[in-house]
Structure formats: C-alpha cells, structure tokens
A and B are shown apart, each in its own frame.
Chain A
Amino acid sequence: MKLLPWKSTARESGPQTSVFEDLAVPLFPSLYNVAHWLTRNATDAEDLVQETYLKALRGFTSFEPGSNFKAWIFRILRNTYLTSRSGLAAMRTVALEDELDQRNESGPALYPEGAIDRQTPEVNLIRLGNEAALQAAMEHLTAPLLEVILLCDVEEMKYKEIAIVLDVPIGTVMSRIARARMALRRELQSPLAPSTEVLA
C-alpha cells in the first residue's frame, strides 16, 4: 500500500501527529463535501478544508481523547467558515425563529398543524428520486438550514453532536431541521423544480 504523503511523513513527526492523522484523514471527504456545499465553490472549499486541517492539527493537544473527534473538527470547520467573508454574509441570515426558540423555555417550537404538509403528491416522490432536483432544492436553503441538514442527513450526526458543532441548544437544532425539511418540500413541489433527466 502506498501511503498518502501526509501519512508517510507525518508519522515521523511524532505520535501526536500520527493519532491526529488516523482520526482526521478518514473525515477528509466529508469535510470537503460540507465545505463545498457551504462555500458553493471548489476553490473556497479547498481553502476552508486546508485551514481547518491545519487549525485542528495545531489545536490537537486541546482535544480530549475519547471525546467526539468528528464533532470537534466539524466545529473547527464551521467556525473557520464563519470567520470568512462569505461565511459571515451567509450566516447573517440566521432566522428570527432561532431567537424565538431560544427565548422559549419550554423547549423547541412546535409547528402548527397547518404548517405540516400532509399531502404526498406522486410528483414529489418522483422528485425525491431525482438527485438533481433535490440538490437544486438544497442549493436554495439558507446557510444555517443547509448546514444543519448536511450534518443531520448526510453526516448522520445525532442532534447532540450537531448542537456541539453549531454551538446552539438542541431545541434550535430540532427547529432548524424542521424548517430545512419544510423548505426542501416546498422547493420540490415548486413547478420550476427540474424533472427527471432522460436523454434519448
């Protein structure tokens, strides 16, 4: 097996680096995927992942062994994104509902029954099978809703882990997920959503 350059050289740099790479390298595809979604272009995504890795390596001594490394490094990615110009602009759109949720001591806001789409049109199901339509719908999500849906559905993180990454209460995570899915449904039901692509 040909080792990645990082793996072969970093092992010579000490056990700390070796432990870091063993934890970090498998997460590289996930970090890049989320970074690309958030930054919406390849160059910024590469810069974001690179900066995240180097920050994580430098700060690895502060990582508690046995705790959740994935949540830890995704939090670094997210914070790094937040400090970028595009991240600052995108995250300004944190919805008013979040503030309302945080003031609500009884827990996450429950949506009124009327807000739940109880219809499941066939066309909607067809579009669920169409990756392009769903990706287009995801592109229309605001950054706070997009990141929560990426962490929950794509990265399969638990609410508790997402709360750590985003540094918000679990109730806020839940309400953002609900809003994100509602927004996706709305996009998929839109007549402008792309249909199944078939080339003859």
Chain B
Amino acid sequence: MSDHLTSSVLNSLADGELSAEPLASAQEHLAGCPACTSNALSQMMLKQATAKAGQRYAAPQQLLERISRQAAQEGQQLQGSRSRTAPRAAGRFGVLGWAAAAALVLVCVSGVLLQRRAQRTATASAEYGALITEVSDQHIATLAANAPPQVLSSDRHTVKPWFQGKIPFSFNLPENLPADTRLDGANLTYLHNQPVAQLLYSIGRHRVSVFVEGRAGAIRGNDLAAEYSGFHVRGFRTEDLEVVAVSDVDASRLSGLVSLIEQSQTGSQAK
C-alpha cells in the first residue's frame, strides 16, 4: 500500500499543482493502479462539486450601491487632499495657458468618451455572446446529465415556492400552457456566478430550459433572439428579471412559451 499515491499528491493532482516530474510519475502510477485512479477521480469530482456548491450567496445590489456611495466620498476626500497644493501653482499660468489647457482637456475628454462608448458597445456585445453561450452550455449539460430535476413537479405552485430562500428574487409561472407543453420541474443553477432558476419544460418531445435571473444593471436590449449550435435562444427583460429560454424546438413555439412566461410576470393577456 505504501506505493499508492498519498493524499497530498492526489490533492495536488486535482488542483493542478503538480510540477512536470511528479505529474509524470503520478500518471504512470495511475495507469496501473485502479484504486488510485478511482481516488483521483473522486477527488476531482469533489473539487468540482465543491466549486459549484460554494457559489452560494449572491451579493445584494443595494450593498454595492451603499459601498459605491461611501467609496465615492472616500475618493473625493483623497482627491481633495491631493489637490490642496494646486492653487499655489495656479497663479503662474496666464490666460493663454489656461485656454490651451482647457482645449487640451476637451480633446482628451472627447477622445476618452468616444473610446469608452466603443468599449461599452464591445462589452455589451461580449456579454450578450457570453450569456448565449453559457445558457446553451447549461441546457446541453442538463440534457446530457439526464438527471431528474432538483424539484420534480408539473405544478407551478410546487415549483415556484421551492425557490424561496434559494434565490434573491421571485417570478411567476404561466397557469395555462398549450396542450403539448408541460412543466417538468426546475433546478437551482448559476449564471455568471449568480444563482438563477432553471425551469424545465417539454414542448412535445423537445426539452426547454428557461433561465430566470434577477436583473442587476443588465446592459442588453429588451428582447433576445439568437441561434447557438442549432439551439434557439429567446428572452426578455422586465424591470426586475431577465429571462432566457433555450431549446431545439421550433423557434415560433419557443417564442410562444417565452411570451406566456412574460405575460405571467406582468399579468397582461397579450403583449
């Protein structure tokens, strides 16, 4: 037994911390030792599961706002203390000097504003793409896992309350679904490190994932429509929520389900 990999080596292996030589040695051992291979796999699964379970608490938006106010005050105080020496030098500038400085500042500010606008557009586009990729990947992973939902019920009065205390927002589910559309259940999952509700529907034999997340300063447009690896992605935003649905079902039927979910948020009959 003394030839088996130690717990230290197994942990370092799972954490990607083994250097080349010990890694080669460990891999050689694993090739001929089913017990250690099983342990290494188990260690990696534990690490993966811990990583997911550990992302448990979403920061409240009002906290960031509170901190932002205090940080802004701090920043101004810091800036104020630094600029107290500036007036001494001010008198040395002539009118022309100030005019030149003002012109320079205007040019710089314009340049910076244009650059920032371009950056924001690029950021919005990147976030949009990242969201589509992430929800599609999660949907594919759900299909591949073929596991029962964390809450297994077709009753919206069971599914919705299940999320109480698990996510920092609430949402409504549509009462009347089309004949071939069924609520299968839901999972608590994560999108960009925030807890979200993953509602699982079936339209005919097609599975649909609907991700509902609390909206926190989202920068995307109101309606989302995209295609990703053969999947249709549709979504909408309300004042408090961002909802994105993914499926390989016909796009119009997916849009129909999304529309029903949207109506249930506002209570309106049609949009």
A residues near B, CB below 8 A? 1-2, 4-7, 9-10, 12-14, 16-17, 21, 28-33, 36-37, 42, 45-46, 49-50, 53-54, 57-58, 108, 110-111, 113, 115-118, 120, 124-125, 128-129, 131, 134-135, 138, 149-150, 152-154, 156, 158-159, 174-175, 177-178, 181-182, 184-185, 196-200
Query: Top 4 closest A-B pairs, CB basis?
Result: A6-B68, A13-B75, A154-B54, A32-B59
Which residues from A are CB-within-8-Å of B51?
A: 153-154, 156
Q: Report yes or no: A17 in contact with B75, Cβ–Cβ below 8 A.
A: yes
Query: Which B residue's beta carbon lies closest to that of A58?
Result: B74
Measured CA separation A129–B46 after assembly (Å): 9
Distance from A160 Cβ to chain B, minimum over Cβ atoms (Å): 9
Q: Report yes or no: B58 in contact with A29, Cβ–Cβ below 8 A.
A: yes
Q: Report yes or no: A125 in contact with B72, Cβ–Cβ below 8 A.
A: no
Distance from B121 Cβ to chain A, minimum over Cβ atoms (Å): 9
Q: Is the interface of A mostly helix, strand, loop or mixed?
A: helix
A-B contact count (CB 8 A): 189
Distance from A142 Cβ to chain B, minimum over Cβ atoms (Å): 16
Most A CB contacts (10 A, CB to CB) among B72, B123, B124, B188 go to: B72
7 more A-B contacts (CB under 8 A) besides A14-B75, A17-B79, A184-B50?
A: A6-B64, A29-B58, A53-B71, A117-B39, A178-B7, A178-B11, A200-B158
Query: Can you list 15 A-B pairs, Cβ within 8 angstroms, ordered by A?
Result: A16-B78, A28-B59, A28-B64, A29-B194, A33-B58, A33-B59, A46-B63, A50-B67, A111-B8, A117-B39, A128-B46, A154-B54, A178-B11, A199-B151, A199-B158
Q: Report yes or no: A135 in contact with B56, Cβ–Cβ below 8 A.
A: yes
Measured CA separation A173–B168 after assembly (Å): 33
Which residues from B are CB-within-8-Å of A5?
A: 65, 68-69, 72
Say yes or no: is B193 at the interface (Cβ < 8 Å to chain A): yes
Say yes or no: is B32 at the interface (Cβ < 8 Å to chain A): no
Q: Report yes or no: B74 in contact with A54, Cβ–Cβ below 8 A.
A: yes
Query: Which A residue's beta carbon lies closest to that of B121?
Result: A1
Measured CA separation A133–B270 after assembly (Å): 42
Given contacts A9-B72, A10-B68, A13-B72, contact A154 B55 (CB under 8 A): yes
